[in-house]
Chains A and B, each alone.
Chain A
Amino acid sequence: MNPADTNQDCSAKIDASCRVPLLVLFNGAALWLVLGLALSLFASLTFHAPEQFSCCPYMTYGHAVAAASDLLVYGFVIPAALGVMLWIFARLSQDKLELPLVVFLAGHLWHLGVFVGTVGILTGHSTGYQWLEYPRAADALLGVAFVLIAISAFATFGLRKERELYPSHWFLLAALLVFPWIYSSANVFIVTNHPVRGVGQAVINWWFANNLIFVWLALAGLGIAFYFLPKIANRPLHSRFWALFAFWTLLLFGTWLGIPAGAPVPAWLPAASQFASLLMIVPIVATAVILKNILWGANVKCFGGTYCYIRFGSVMFVVSALMLVAAGCPDFSRTVEFTWFGTAQAQLQILGFATMILAGAIYEIIPRTMGTALPFEKFKTLQFFASVLGVLLLVISLAVAGIAQGKSNFASGAGKIALMVSTTGWLFLLLGSLSLLLNILVMTMKWKLGLAKSAWAAITAPLADSEVKS
Chain B
Amino acid sequence: MKSGFGVFFAVAVTLSLSWLGFVVAPAVQLGSAKQTTVLISGDTWPQQRTGEATLGQQIYRANGCVACHTTQMRQDGIICDVVLAKPGKNPVAVTNLLSTLKLSGLTKDQADEVSQQISDKGGTAETHISATGPDIKNDWGVRRSVAADFLYDAPVQLGNLRAGPDLANIGARSASSLLMQHLYAPRSINQASTMPSYKFLFDVQKIGDAPSPDALKDLPKDAAPADGFEVVPKPEAKQLVAYLLSLHADVPLYEAPFTPAAPKP
Contact = CB atoms under 8 A, between A and B. Distances in A.
Interface of A: 46-47, 50-57, 60-63, 65-66, 121, 124-130, 157-158, 165, 169-170, 173-174, 177-178, 181-182, 185, 189-190, 195-204, 206-207, 211, 244, 247-248, 251-252, 255-256, 258-260, 262-266, 269, 272, 334, 337-340, 342-343, 405, 409-410, 412-413, 416, 419
B193 interface: yes
A63 B60 CA distance: 11
Contacts of B171: none
Nearest to A65: B67
A2 B172 CA distance: 82
B149 interface: yes
A191 to B, nearest CB: 9
B15 A178 contact: yes
Q: Which of A56, A61, A337, A409 has the most CB of B within 10 A?
A: A61
B158 A46 contact: no
Interface string B144-182: 111111110111111111110110000000000000000
A149 B145 CA distance: 43
Given A178-B15, A251-B11, A255-B18, A196 B27 contact: yes
Given A181-B15, A197-B151, A264-B72, A204 B196 contact: no
B162 A339 contact: yes
Interface stretch (B47-55, B93-101, B184-192): B184-192
Contacts of B63: 57, 60, 62-63, 124
Contacts of B154: 195, 201
30 contacts: A50-B193, A50-B196, A51-B196, A54-B198, A60-B63, A61-B64, A61-B67, A62-B64, A62-B67, A125-B62, A165-B4, A185-B19, A189-B27, A196-B27, A198-B150, A200-B31, A202-B156, A203-B26, A204-B22, A206-B22, A211-B18, A251-B10, A255-B14, A262-B144, A264-B144, A264-B146, A265-B26, A265-B30, A339-B162, A340-B161
B165 A251 contact: no
B261 interface: no
Nearest to B70: A338
B7 interface: yes
A207 B26 CA distance: 11
B66 A62 contact: yes
Given A54-B197, A124-B62, A264-B150, A247 B10 contact: yes
Contacts, number: 227
Contacts of A342: 160-161
B226 interface: no
A174 B7 contact: yes
A416 B10 CA distance: 45
B134 interface: yes
Contacts of A207: 18-19, 22-23
A89 B171 CA distance: 56
A199 B147 contact: yes
B2 interface: yes
A46 B194 contact: yes
Given A57-B63, A66-B64, A206-B22, 11 more contacts: A54-B196, A60-B198, A63-B64, A157-B4, A196-B26, A198-B151, A263-B72, A338-B70, A412-B192, A413-B192, A416-B192
A170 B165 contact: no
Q: Which of B8, B11, B162 has the most CB of A within 10 A?
A: B11
B134 A198 contact: no
A199 B155 contact: no
Nearest to B165: A410
A454 to B, nearest CB: 40
Contact of A165 (B1, B137, B150, B197): B1
Interface in B176-234: 186-187, 190, 192-200
A190 B80 CA distance: 40
Contact of B158 (A56, A202, A339): A202
Contacts of B14: 248, 251-252, 255
Interface string B223-255: 000000000000000000000000000000000
B92 interface: no
Interface string B66-100: 11101011100000000000000000000000000
Contact of A263 (B134, B158, B161, B196): B158
A262 B72 contact: yes
A260 B73 CA distance: 12
A189 B23 contact: yes
B173 to A, nearest CB: 15
Contact of B11 (A178, A203, A262): A178
Contact of B18 (A127, A195, A201, A256): A256
* CB-based closest 10 A-B pairs: A62-B64, A124-B62, A262-B74, A413-B192, A255-B18, A200-B30, A128-B61, A251-B14, A264-B145, A207-B22
Q: Which of A47, A63, A202, A409 has the most CB of B within 10 A?
A: A202
Given A201-B156, A410-B138, A266 B67 contact: no
B16 to A, nearest CB: 9
B254 to A, nearest CB: 14
B155 A256 contact: no
Given A128-B61, A264-B150, A269 B26 contact: yes
Q: Which of B22, B145, B150, B165 has the most CB of A within 10 A?
A: B22
Given A62-B65, A66-B67, A124-B63, A56 B200 contact: yes
B197 A51 contact: yes
Contact of A269 (B2, B22, B27, B155): B22
Nearest to A419: B194
A174 B11 contact: yes
A182 B14 CA distance: 13
A339 B68 CA distance: 10
A182 to B, nearest CB: 8
B199 A55 contact: yes
B21 interface: yes
A51 B170 CA distance: 23
Contacts of A50: 186-187, 193-197
B29 interface: yes
B30 A416 contact: no
A198 B158 contact: no
Contacts of B186: 50
B137 A251 contact: no
Contacts of A55: 199-200
A391 B193 CA distance: 26
B265 to A, nearest CB: 33
